[in-house]
Amino acid sequence: MKIILDDTFTKQQLYPFTAVRNAADIRIGILTIREKWEKILGYAISTNDAGDNSLKAFSTEKDTRAFISSDIVPTKEWLEEMLANGEGDNMLKDEEHVRVLKHGIDIVKNNDWALRKDFELITAGRRSQPISNTNKVIAPENIFIESGAKVEHSILNAAAGPIYIGKNAEVMEGCMIRGSFALCEGAILKMGAKVYGATTIGPNCVVAGEIKNSVLFANSNKAHDGYLGDSVLGEWCNLGAGTTNSNVKNTAGHVKMWDNTTDDFIDVGYKAGLLMGDYSRVAINTSFNTGTVVGICCNIFESGFPPKKVDDFTWGNKRYELGKALEHIDNWKKLKGQQLTQKEKEILTTLYNK
């Protein structure tokens, strides 16, 4: 049976993270949703953006193809039972073994659960690299360090949740980490960083300052002091030095956050920080209100608080010129030894002209 992850009905609800990717490539926990499927099943998984045969979370065509909604975050236990029984829709109620993302803030709300599940999946039957004795360690049995990773002169407290340090990642001196936490392949946690669970730093990200219950997908930077809490950053984002977000209202009341499905602000609970789409950047000392959503390809540098909804391709308080947006993205990618691909240019051009 061929599994196809279909995000036809997730594009709007998981904005801004589905603007330039299938929902299957959203990172939650340690792995992306697609990577979870592939790790569990042991083979590559296809995605389908066209949407045929996707009216249900689980449907089949002649018992040879299974169309699965990309907003489903699977576990080994759930997937094995689903494939055995073929009752995908009914089994979505089992919150111990599966979660469904209906809004970007759900990435934050479910990240601790996903981190623990991914840690079990990735480390099963394997042995961690030794933990350097320069570190202060609590619950070392819940810490896994991949080959090539560097962790020195830091405090690692895995009593409340696991800590995963990916291949060739680096935790610089003086960092304080409380699990659950993942520093993915090639990522860097700079000196003196303070990290609370549940936090995921994706591949090749550079992070510093204070972070709590947040997810950075890949290749993004929060490289200086400032607070990031209950937030999600897509790929190729950059927060200027001193950038901080609010995650709780001064009234301690419910937070309202933009929702593309309803084209309105919706209640998302007591805590919600910043959701930032891919390729967006902010100037130094930027302050974000509780429950802010920033679209893709934005450059935020105006004085005062940015609005709680920042449209795609915003330059200050104007519309970004497409040519400049592509040029600036390419400049940032070159800093990490990459360049803007033709496929990226085509996707961004299409979105710009919508």
Averaged pLDDT, groups of 10, the chain, 354 residues long: 85 95 97 96 82 41 73 92 70 84 97 98 97 98 98 98 98 98 98 97 98 98 98 98 96 96 96 98 97 98 93 96 97 96 96 94
| Three-class SS of 27-95 | ECCCCEHHHHHHHHHCCCCEEECCCCCCCCCEEEECCCEEEEECCEECCHHHHHHHHHHCCHHHHCCCC
For residue 180, the 8-state DSSP code is: S
Residue 317 pLDDT: 92
Torsion of CA 300, 305, 308, 310, to 10 degrees: -20
Q: Domain spans of the chain?
A: 2-102, 118-352
Residue 59 pLDDT: 47
Residue 54 pLDDT: 38
Residue 84 pLDDT: 78
Cα separation, 130 vs 195, whole angstroms: 22
- State the DSSP H helix or E strand holding residue 157, giving kind and residue range, or none if neither: strand 155-157
8 Å CB contact between 275 and 259: no
- Buried residues in 272-295 as b, exposed as e (16+ CB within 10 A): bbbbbbbbbbbbeebbbebbbbbb
Residue 88 pLDDT: 57
CATH class of the domain comprising 118-352: mainly beta
Could you tell me how many residues make up the chain?
Answer: 354
SS3 141: helix
- State the DSSP H helix or E strand holding residue 2, giving kind and residue range, or none if neither: strand 2-6
